[in-house]
Amino acid sequence: MENSDNTYRPVIGLEIHVQLSTKSKMFSSAPNNPDTTEPNVNIDEVVTAEPGTLPVVNKEALRLGVMVGLALHCEIPEYSKFDRKHYFYPDLPKGYQISQYDEPIAQNGYVDITLPSGDTKRIRITRAHLEEDAGKNIHPEGLPYSLVNYNRAGSPLLEIVTEPDIESAEEARIFLQELRNIVRYVGASSADMEKGTMRCEPNISVRKPGELTLPKYKVEVKNINSFKFAEAAINYEIARHKEMLEAGNMPKQVTMGWNEKDSKTVEQRSKEEANDYRYFPDPDLPRLHFTKEFIEDLQGQLPELPDAKRLRFKNEYGLGSADIDNLIIWKELTYFFENVVSELTEWNEVEGGKLDMPKLIKQAANWCLQDFSAFLNAMHQNPTESLVMPENMAEMIKLVEQGKISSSAAKQVFKVMFDKGGEPDTIVADLGLEQTSDEGSILEAIEKIIAENEKAVTDFKAGQEKSFGFLVGMAMKELKGKGNPQIVNELLRKKLSE
């Protein structure tokens, strides 16, 4: 890849750590729970490295790691092994981290991302390997000591490394979001950057105009805990490198930390080389052997992945790309949405295929993405935990479509459905929300407000369209909000033109 044009070109690779959602830790039976708040409870003698303890590989972590590898189109080598990576830090009780060095569980994969232009770009995956997490050091402000919490120590991590194929901060963000989707679809991790179950360390360099090879330095950025910060930190570094290169200087090979408060990166330490870690095979752990049958079995267990689902939602449902992207990020919500659509499809069959299905599907998407998502998020709930059943949502869409309730009444119905559960028609009856399409009572209300609002009527007849809206409002009020708006509009216009 030659830099033939006259611009400075960013070269970005990513290292992503994903905490696997297993019940227990990577090499022991201590609980693996990222939500625990009490310090030093998810530990045992293996986690704290008591003398004489031995690690035992967590099978579920292996399974999830290989599943993600397959979802990233990686090769899964037949053999793999664990190595010790040495460094000293109080949050690492053994004095080394069990990781994988030269024989990772997955290698040579890729993820295709969709750019805002609509073009697809392939980001190659170098490798994915299993390792254990470290604990956390805490430095209380103003106090002369530090604390250490081992709850996270020994948690299973999958480290995913990309080739330096990414050329902008935006591409990095899109890639990270797609990777999060994939990991969540596989069920391997909550992959939540804010909670630290997905962490990202970009390495960034900038190629000078005409530079033929990759730059001879790269800067790694740590401490990024959201997609927004990833994008901001990368942009900050690109600008910093460009400025230095333009002045004829070469940026130093260092590790930077993202400082959220000042929106800038700060130098942390010079970057260590692999041989500083004195890697060697862990003698306590046997080599891993993945049989062909094991890998084929896992391949068969893979769910429909985000890119396939995206394409199907476009072809099958005709949804726009923004709606699709917003649905795709929540796997359980896509299942819910599809169940609503299948209820609506059944209704359409009963009606002999006369319904406007694209319109109904769009409404199902809107309900899922707007009110339902907002309520679920507020309650930290998943669609599967909600009292709202897909058939209830479909039934409510049907009531609106049939003109039995107004769309604003539907919002009230949905709120009750979400809070207490229940069938929409029962809720409509309980709340007295039935919309009237009865022309007799609507006409009666219209005649009454025409008689009571002489000025507005005169104004309208003199050409003031604004007065029409006012009269509609008065008529709706007279009907206690239950008049079918379309019929109210039609009859009012007719009456006024008499």
- Which residue ranges make up the site for Mn ion (CB under 5 A)? 159
Min dist CB 276 to Mn ion, Å, is 14
Shortest-Cβ-distance residue relative to Mn ion: 159
Of 131 and 338, the one with the shorter C-beta distance to Mn ion is 131
What is the rounded CA–CA span in Å between residue 297 and residue 286?
A: 22
A 10 A CB-CB count for 240 gives 17
Min dist CB 97 to Mn ion, Å, is 8
Sheet of 106-114: strands edge to edge? 106-114, 120-132, 156-162, 9-19, 198-207, 219-222, 254-259, 264-270
Of 98 and 182, the one with the shorter C-beta distance to Mn ion is 98
Which residue has 């990576």 as its token pair?
85
Of 83 and 159, the one with the shorter C-beta distance to Mn ion is 159
Cα dist. 408→280, 481, 483, 484 in Å?
A: 66, 9, 12, 11
Of 137 and 249, the one with the shorter C-beta distance to Mn ion is 137
- Beta-strand pair 219-222/156-162: unpaired
Backbone phi and psi for residue 58, each to the nearest 5 degrees, phi listed first: -80, 115
Min dist CB 131 to Mn ion, Å, is 5
User: Which 8-state DSSP code applies to residue 349?
Assistant: H
Min dist CB 222 to Mn ion, Å, is 11
Min dist CB 144 to Mn ion, Å, is 31
Task: Identify the three-state secondary structure at position 121.
Answer: strand
User: Which 8-state DSSP code applies to residue 385?
Assistant: G
What b-and-e string marks burial along 27-36, b requiring 16 or more CB atoms within 10 Å of the CB? Answer: bbebbbbbee
Min dist CB 17 to Mn ion, Å, is 6
User: Could you tell me what percentage of the chain is helix, strand and coil, using 3-state DSSP and rounding each to the nearest 5?
Assistant: 45, 20, 40
Tokens standing for residue 198: 């997905």
Of 273 and 465, the one with the shorter C-beta distance to Mn ion is 273
Of 101 and 290, the one with the shorter C-beta distance to Mn ion is 101
Of 159 and 478, the one with the shorter C-beta distance to Mn ion is 159
Min dist CB 133 to Mn ion, Å, is 9
Min dist CB 159 to Mn ion, Å, is 4
Of 133 and 478, the one with the shorter C-beta distance to Mn ion is 133
